[in-house]
């Protein structure tokens, strides 16, 4: 199945939903034009359609293989990665003074969607490298930056995040990996890390592992964790590669999906490590990096949704079966003409476009936060991250499942290829923090840290859009009504959670995932509402009529099919805990 980057919709989002004008008013980005961004994304789209999209099936069938401590990937991955590096795609959003292209995150997020839409297994490698680059930029010493940044940003080396251990998943305080001082400023890292994405491979010359570990005399729990650079090959003073470090890939996992992405068990045997930043602040640095990674995983949700949608759409246009229910044609027609297939496809598309709009808007906030340091902006950006991660990935399960359904029996046959999107997507609500972790982050941190002020500002911005839509045409008014209902449900649920949290934390935390889904849905629906306002104006001006009419209809569909889920989630939040804690309910 082919893949085409959804450039037109991406560029619409970039122009109208990402706060493009504010982002490109930032000193770092004042030279960037829409044309530059569009040209870069178009070139990337072409490369991904041609070179990366075919990897999806190849990698799914071949899997990453483990042999004698090495990970073997199909030759096609080597060729594609070499081109990816040559074209400089890894460097897209990284600073020019380290060799990067220096584009904003709004462009980076769009690029990440394209790469991961083509193949999530492939996309994971640059995604993790991006995370390592961010961590080094924020917390590395000048020497570390000089040593590692340039080859990472070029893609010549790749990066990993080493957090999880068998007993320490969501609960990183239980990490046991030791970092013992060698006496020369370096540390001997010893322990076992699991679930390390692209933890071993030879697409690149070197791998820069960022490893969470604890010094012998540090505090117990999360406050005793520090972050270390552990390169696969030691780096000499001149930048050339030296000895192999003592970190070994013991095995890789046989997984439900993203099977070409090697998920490694890494054994560190007194491997040489270099402390990043200050001791015992490792978790803090990791969380900075994780915010970026979580955003990117949310984008993967949009990406795999788009892929599944394109696949289902093509099948529905091609497969002929049964006469139409309205009797308009005497013969069997392509199934896209049957109302339920139309509903399925539009639902897939609405969730995909809604997720994309949310991610693009969040990316704009992240750019503004990152470059201004303004607290209110930063809080809003950080409020959005669990929404992008939680909502877009949970929705990707629905979208990819509908993609299978649209294919009927053919969907269940692996050869068809659509089951792969269903399998690949299933990791998204799990890694980089499960949906429950995102939901706890949303309520426990992003809402509570300022007593709900950011959440209320978010709600007020939604209200502004509702007000504008209410002045519009018939479709805009339908959207306004849907948004107003969902916003009221959000406001009530927020108030309920805030008033119950202290007295009865179990009751409140029983509702965090429904609250995340309600808030994510409202946030995406809000962006679709903003898009509808633009589309309405453009239609009135006679610009790009087909696209704008579709956008308006999709926003209306979103309001009438997806936003209406908010009622259910609000009910779950506000009364759902009662039965959960009935006396004597045994599990």
Query: Token digits for 256?
Result: 């439900």
- What is each CA distance from 235 to 159, 245, 253, 298, 450, in whole angstroms? 14, 10, 29, 34, 44
- What is each CA distance from 402 to 333, 343, 397, 445, 446, in whole angstroms? 20, 10, 9, 34, 32
Rounded to a whole number of angstroms, the minimum distance from the CB of residue 423 to a copy of itself is 7
| Between 122 and 557, CB nearer to a copy of itself | 557
| Between 87 and 333, CB nearer to a copy of itself | 333
Per CB under 8 A, the segment of 236-244, 368-376, 378-386, 508-516 that binds a copy of itself is 508-516
Residues in the chain: 587
Rounded to a whole number of angstroms, the minimum distance from the CB of residue 96 to a copy of itself is 37
Gap between the Cα atoms of 133 and 151, Å rounded: 10
Q: Which of residues 104-163 bind a copy of itself (CB under 8 A)?
A: none
Q: Does 540 bind a copy of itself (CB under 8 A)?
A: no
Rounded to a whole number of angstroms, the minimum distance from the CB of residue 477 to a copy of itself is 12
- What's the first-to-final CA gap in the chain, in angstroms? 45
Rounded to a whole number of angstroms, the minimum distance from the CB of residue 113 to a copy of itself is 21
Please pick, among 432, 503, 543, 582, the residue that the annotation labels catalytic. Answer: 432
Q: Does 560 bind a copy of itself (CB under 8 A)?
A: yes
Q: What is the 3-state secondary structure (H, E, C) of 69-107?
A: CEEECCHHHHHHHHHHHHCCHHHCCCCHHHCCCCCCHHH
From candidates 22, 78, 281, 561, binder to a copy of itself by CB under 8 A: 561
Rounded to a whole number of angstroms, the minimum distance from the CB of residue 315 to a copy of itself is 12
- Residues 301, 302, 304, 308: is their CA dihedral positive or negative? positive
- Residues 128, 129, 131, 135: is their CA dihedral positive or negative? positive
| Between 50 and 565, CB nearer to a copy of itself | 565
From candidates 7, 234, 534, 553, binder to a copy of itself by CB under 8 A: 553
Q: Return all residues near 210 (Cβ < 8 A) that are at least 6 apart.
A: 131, 132, 135, 159, 160, 161, 162, 227, 228, 229, 230, 276, 286, 289
Q: Does 498 bind a copy of itself (CB under 8 A)?
A: no
Query: Token digits for 165?
Result: 């251990």
Neighbours of 315 (CB within 10 A): 23
Q: Which of residues 244-263 bind a copy of itself (CB under 8 A)?
A: 253-257
Of 576, 415, 426, residue with least CA distance to 509: 576
Q: Return all residues near 201 (Cβ < 8 A) that are at least 6 apart.
A: 64, 71, 73, 125, 158, 207, 262
Q: Return all residues near 489 (Cβ < 8 A) that are at least 6 apart.
A: 518, 566, 567, 569, 570
Per CB under 8 A, the segment of 31-39, 282-290, 309-317, 360-368 that binds a copy of itself is 309-317
Kindly write out the interface string for residues 67-106 of this chain, putting x where it contacts a copy of itself by CB under 8 A and - elsewhere. Answer: ----------------------------------------
Per CB under 8 A, the segment of 49-57, 115-123, 371-379, 573-581 that binds a copy of itself is 573-581
Q: Is residue 124 packed enough to be buried (19+ CB in 10 Å), middle (13-18) or exposed (0-12)? A: buried
Q: Does 543 bind a copy of itself (CB under 8 A)?
A: no
Rounded to a whole number of angstroms, the minimum distance from the CB of residue 65 to a copy of itself is 15
Of 14, 110, 16, residue with least CA distance to 533: 16
> For the packed helices 512-540 and 474-500, what is the interaxial angle rounded to 10 degrees?
160
Gap between the Cα atoms of 506 and 514, Å rounded: 14
Q: Which of residues 176-215 bind a copy of itself (CB under 8 A)?
A: 194-195
Of 124, 161, 153, residue with least CA distance to 137: 153
From candidates 32, 293, 304, 513, binder to a copy of itself by CB under 8 A: 513
From candidates 174, 178, 223, 281, binder to a copy of itself by CB under 8 A: 174
| Between 237 and 579, CB nearer to a copy of itself | 579
Q: Which of residues 459-488 bind a copy of itself (CB under 8 A)?
A: 475, 478
Q: Does 242 bind a copy of itself (CB under 8 A)?
A: no
Rounded to a whole number of angstroms, the minimum distance from the CB of residue 80 to a copy of itself is 24
Rounded to a whole number of angstroms, the minimum distance from the CB of residue 408 to a copy of itself is 5
Gap between the Cα atoms of 256 and 97, Å rounded: 40
Q: What is the DSSP pairing of strand 206-214 with strand 233-235?
A: unpaired
| Between 135 and 532, CB nearer to a copy of itself | 532
Q: Does 567 bind a copy of itself (CB under 8 A)?
A: yes
Gap between the Cα atoms of 281 and 301, Å rounded: 30
Q: Which of residues 408-447 bind a copy of itself (CB under 8 A)?
A: 408-409, 411-415, 419, 422-423, 426-427, 429-431, 434-436, 439-440
From candidates 512, 519, 527, 536, binder to a copy of itself by CB under 8 A: 512
| Binding-site size, a copy of itself (CB under 8 A) | 97
Structure-derived torsion over alpha carbons of residues 185, 186, 191, 194, reported in degrees to the nearest 10: 120
Of 281, 289, 159, residue with least CA distance to 226: 281
Q: Which of residues 317-356 bind a copy of itself (CB under 8 A)?
A: 317, 320-322, 325-327, 332, 336, 338-343, 345-346, 349
From candidates 170, 269, 372, 375, binder to a copy of itself by CB under 8 A: 170
Kindly write out the interface string for residues 388-407 of this chain, putting x where it contacts a copy of itself by CB under 8 A and - elsewhere. Answer: ---------x---x--xx--
Per CB under 8 A, the segment of 26-34, 103-111, 123-131, 549-557 that binds a copy of itself is 549-557
Rounded to a whole number of angstroms, the minimum distance from the CB of residue 471 to a copy of itself is 20
Rounded to a whole number of angstroms, the minimum distance from the CB of residue 136 to a copy of itself is 25
Gap between the Cα atoms of 241 and 239, Å rounded: 7
Q: Is 432 a catalytic residue?
A: yes
| Between 136 and 528, CB nearer to a copy of itself | 528
Q: Is residue 39 packed enough to be buried (19+ CB in 10 Å), middle (13-18) or exposed (0-12)? A: exposed
Per CB under 8 A, the segment of 74-82, 140-148, 234-242, 315-323 that binds a copy of itself is 315-323
Catalytic residues: 432
């Amino acid at each position: 199945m082919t893949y085409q980057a959804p450039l037109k919709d991406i560029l619409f989002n970039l122009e109208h939903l990402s706060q493009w004008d504010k982002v490109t008013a930032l000193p770092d980005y004042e030279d960037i034009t829409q044309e530059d961004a569009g040209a870069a994304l178009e070139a990337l789209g072409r490369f991904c359609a041609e070179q990366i999209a075919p990897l999806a099936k190849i990698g799914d069938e071949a899997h990453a293989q483990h042999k004698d401590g090495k990970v073997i990937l199909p030759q096609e991955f080597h060729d594609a990665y070499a081109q990816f590096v040559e074209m400089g795609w890894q460097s897209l959003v990284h600073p020019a003074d380290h060799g990067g292209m220096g584009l904003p995150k709004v462009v980076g997020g769009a690029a990440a969607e394209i790469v991961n839409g083509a193949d999530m297994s492939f996309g994971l490698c640059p995604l993790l490298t991006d995370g390592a680059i961010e961590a080094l930029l924020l917390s590395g010493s000048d020497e570390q930056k000089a040593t590692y940044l340039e080859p990472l940003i070029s893609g010549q080396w790749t990066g990993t995040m080493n957090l999880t251990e068998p007993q320490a998943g969501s609960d990183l305080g239980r990490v046991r990996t030791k970092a013992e001082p060698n006496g020369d400023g370096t540390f001997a890292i010893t322990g076992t890390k699991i679930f390390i994405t692209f933890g071993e491979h030879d697409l690149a010359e070197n791998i820069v592992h960022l490893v969470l570990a604890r010094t012998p005399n540090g505090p117990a729990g999360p406050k005793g964790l520090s972050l270390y650079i552990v390169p696969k090959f030691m780096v000499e003073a001149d930048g050339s590669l030296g000895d192999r470090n003592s970190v070994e890939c013991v095995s890789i996992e046989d997984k439900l999906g993203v099977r070409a992405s090697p998920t490694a068990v890494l054994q560190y045997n007194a491997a040489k490590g270099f402390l990043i930043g200050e001791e015992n602040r490792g978790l803090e640095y990791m969380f900075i990096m994780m915010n970026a990674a979580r955003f990117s995983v949310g984008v993967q949700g949009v990406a795999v949704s788009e892929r599944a949608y394109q696949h289902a759409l093509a099948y529905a246009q091609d497969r002929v079966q049964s006469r139409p229910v309205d009797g308009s044609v005497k013969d069997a027609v392509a199934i896209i003409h049957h109302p339920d297939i139309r509903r399925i496809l539009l639902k897939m598309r609405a969730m995909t476009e809604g997720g994309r709009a949310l991610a693009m808007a969040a990316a704009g906030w992240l750019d503004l936060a990152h470059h201004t340091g303004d607290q209110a902006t930063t809080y809003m950006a950080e409020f959005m991250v669990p929404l992008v991660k939680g909502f877009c990935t949970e929705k990707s399960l629905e979208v990819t499942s509908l993609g299978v359904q649209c294919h009927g029996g053919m969907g269940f046959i692996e050869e068809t290829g659509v089951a792969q999107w269903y399998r690949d997507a299933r990791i998204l609500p799990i890694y980089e923090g499960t949906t429950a972790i995102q939901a706890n982050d949303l309520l426990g941190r992003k809402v509570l840290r300022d007593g709900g002020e950011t959440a209320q500002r978010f709600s007020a911005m939604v209200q502004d859009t509702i007000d504008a839509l209410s002045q519009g045409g018939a479709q805009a008014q339908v959207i306004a009504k849907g948004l107003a209902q969902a916003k009221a449900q959000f406001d009530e649920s927020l108030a309920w959670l805030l008033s119950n949290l202290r007295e009865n934390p179990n009751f409140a935390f029983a509702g965090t995932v429904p609250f995340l889904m309600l808030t994510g849905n409202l946030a995406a629906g809000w962006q679709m509402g903003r898009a509808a306002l633009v589309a309405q104006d453009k239609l009135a001006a006679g610009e790009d009529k087909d696209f704008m009419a579709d956008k308006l209809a999709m926003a209306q569909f979103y309001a009438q099919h997806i936003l209406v889920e908010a009622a259910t989630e609000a009910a779950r939040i506000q009364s759902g805990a009662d039965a959960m804690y009935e006396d004597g309910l045994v599990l």
